[in-house]
Chains A and B, each alone.
Chain A
Amino acid sequence: MSGLEHIGVQVVTAPQDGARSYVPALLREIEALLAELVASGRHGRIDLRSLPLLPGDDARLAALLGNGEVDAAIQAMGGTRVRETGVAGVWWVTHANADGETVAEFVEVTLVPEMLKTHPQDARTGLARLRERLAELTHEGETDG
């Protein structure tokens, strides 16, 4: 590497005196979305990047929601992590680019996040691919025989 890490630059985070956390308001919004999911099945999503969160707000929200049973990793031009929080039906979805930088982050209130589902078109492509392989195997079997 270039040795840049040896340059003595120290970035100091400015104090946030007097600033108010958005976490309580976010929890209320999540509560409303979850109540809607339970009542009507309608899912909701909060774009965490669109909110003027204070440093540490996202970590505080994550800690308050806790960890659930599912923690899925997806490789789709960069990693995506889909975690169910300790509140069933509330998911934390983090999209990263190929360099590992977070490019989008959402709280999703749903039974199954869309990112975990296989799209019907992909399933059709998968079926075609599987049949090709079966045909190859059949051909190899006939050749060997």
Chain B
Amino acid sequence: MADNQTVGETLASRGISRRTFLKFCATMTSLLALPPGMAEVMAETLARTRRQSVIWLSFQECTGCTESLTRSHSPTLESLLFDAISLDYHHTLQAAAGDAAERARVQAMQDNAGKYLVIVDGSIPLKDGGVYSTIAGHSNLDMLKETAAGAAAIIAVGTCATYGGLPHANPNPTGAVAVSDIIKDKPIVNVPGCPPIATVITGVVAHFLTLGTLPELDSLGRPKVFFGDTIHDRCYRRPFYDQGKFAKTFDDEGARSGWCLYELGCKGPTTHNACATVKWNGGTSFPIESGHPCLGCSEPNFWDAGSFYQALSAKTLPLSAHAGAALAVGAAAGVAVGLVSRAKKKAAARQHTRVSADDLEKGGGA
């Protein structure tokens, strides 16, 4: 339930020093590209603030988004977020069950009307009256509308909540839609990804708690500070792309030398996310660094955008032409390829190319 403790009091009761909290805030200001001197201001402001009531709604989802945020073998700085909020409702994490759980949600809505944050993971099925996903007898649609009505803002986490995700993939049997397809009168921040990066979720919440505002968003409702660049823009393998050096299979000399994975189906040129800089697993690496092409999981309709292992430009332009162009004019060629790639992606989405065993077996994308 919501409580009246300040964040500072909560930290003290859990034996977490203000020095540790300052470190958390310094990390957040760096991530959010705020002025470095904001760390102390953020720490002092947050410490005096009553813990923010948060209602987390999980609809048609796999719980991967929650796993991304909570799974860790050791306490992390990100986990400090849970000391700065009052998580009043969350199916997976709350102790209460059944009617008691639903009462907790209603109570939090009443106690914090107009002030609480709603975090949503999962898409919302609309077909056949929304019968394909219900909670305590309520359709996801009804629960979202009821809960969103008194919210200060909504954060849609994961590609299902932001764009429909896997449930929305062709033929979309449940009529799944995104939060923004339903809620039109509340500020919504989209944090896509399958799953989304925990640090990005933490950063958006910390921004709201500290500054009382939501971060600047792009045309798809994503925070620009995390989704302003493509994976390709920030990829450490980008120089190999510019030099026309590509891995042709997963075990050739190019792959062993760490060359660009574009021909193996990498969707980095059309995918906006922070994986290449924030990384995964405690900053260890991200898929491309582990030798696998980017799947493009933070973009709308990525499940319907063709095989994960087919190059974006395959059958549209000979790849050797791309490589030659890239060698000749570098970044300008990258932009051109990006445009061609997006066209290819849309065409693939229309045709809904299915992944076959051959796709998984073969090395080359073209």
Contacts and interface: CB of A to CB of B under 8 A. Distances in A.
B37 A45 contact: yes
Most buried by A among B40, B47, B243, B282: B282
B37 A115 contact: no
A99 interface: yes
Question: Interface residues of B toward A: which range?
Answer: 35 or more
Given A9-B256, A101-B282, A101-B284, A80 B74 contact: no
B258 A12 contact: yes
Given A118-B19, A122-B18, A77 B27 contact: no
Contacts of A131: none
Contacts of B36: 45-47, 50, 106
A121 B43 CA distance: 12
A119 interface: yes
B12 interface: yes
A14 B283 contact: no
B258 A98 contact: no
A15 B245 CA distance: 13
A14 to B, nearest CB: 3
Interface of B: 8, 12, 16-20, 22-24, 26-27, 29-30, 33, 36-37, 39-40, 47, 72, 74-77, 80, 239-240, 243, 256-258, 282-284, 291
Contacts of B47: 121
Given A77-B23, A122-B17, A104 B30 contact: yes
A47 to B, nearest CB: 4
A116 B251 CA distance: 49
Contacts of A80: 23
B291 A9 contact: yes
Contact of B256 (A8, A47, A95, A125): A8
A101 B17 contact: no
Nearest to B13: A125
Nearest to B30: A104
A114 interface: yes
A24 to B, nearest CB: 20
A74 B26 CA distance: 15
B17 A95 contact: no
A25 interface: no
25 contacts: A8-B256, A9-B256, A9-B291, A10-B256, A10-B257, A10-B258, A11-B258, A45-B39, A46-B36, A47-B29, A47-B30, A49-B30, A50-B36, A77-B23, A77-B77, A97-B77, A97-B282, A99-B282, A101-B282, A101-B284, A103-B27, A114-B22, A115-B22, A121-B18, A121-B47
A44 to B, nearest CB: 7
A11 B18 CA distance: 40
Contact of B282 (A11, A98, A115): A98
A78 interface: yes
A102 interface: yes
A76 interface: yes
Interface string A83-127: 000000000000101110111101000000011001101100100
Nearest to A120: B18
Contacts of B29: 47
B76 A97 contact: yes
A80 B208 CA distance: 26
Nearest to A47: B36
A3 B319 CA distance: 36
Interface in A63-89: 74, 76-78, 80
A10 to B, nearest CB: 6
A76 B27 contact: no
Given A77-B75, A77-B80, A114-B22, 16 more contacts: A8-B256, A14-B239, A15-B239, A45-B39, A47-B36, A49-B30, A50-B30, A98-B72, A99-B74, A99-B284, A102-B283, A103-B30, A103-B283, A114-B39, A115-B19, A118-B19
A114 B17 contact: no
Given A11-B258, A125-B12, A98 B291 contact: no
B112 to A, nearest CB: 26
Contacts of A97: 76-77, 282-283
B74 to A, nearest CB: 4
Nearest to A42: B37
Contact of B258 (A9, A44, A102): A9
A101 to B, nearest CB: 4
Nearest to A48: B30
Contacts of B37: 44-45
Nearest to A49: B30
B95 to A, nearest CB: 25
B283 A121 contact: no
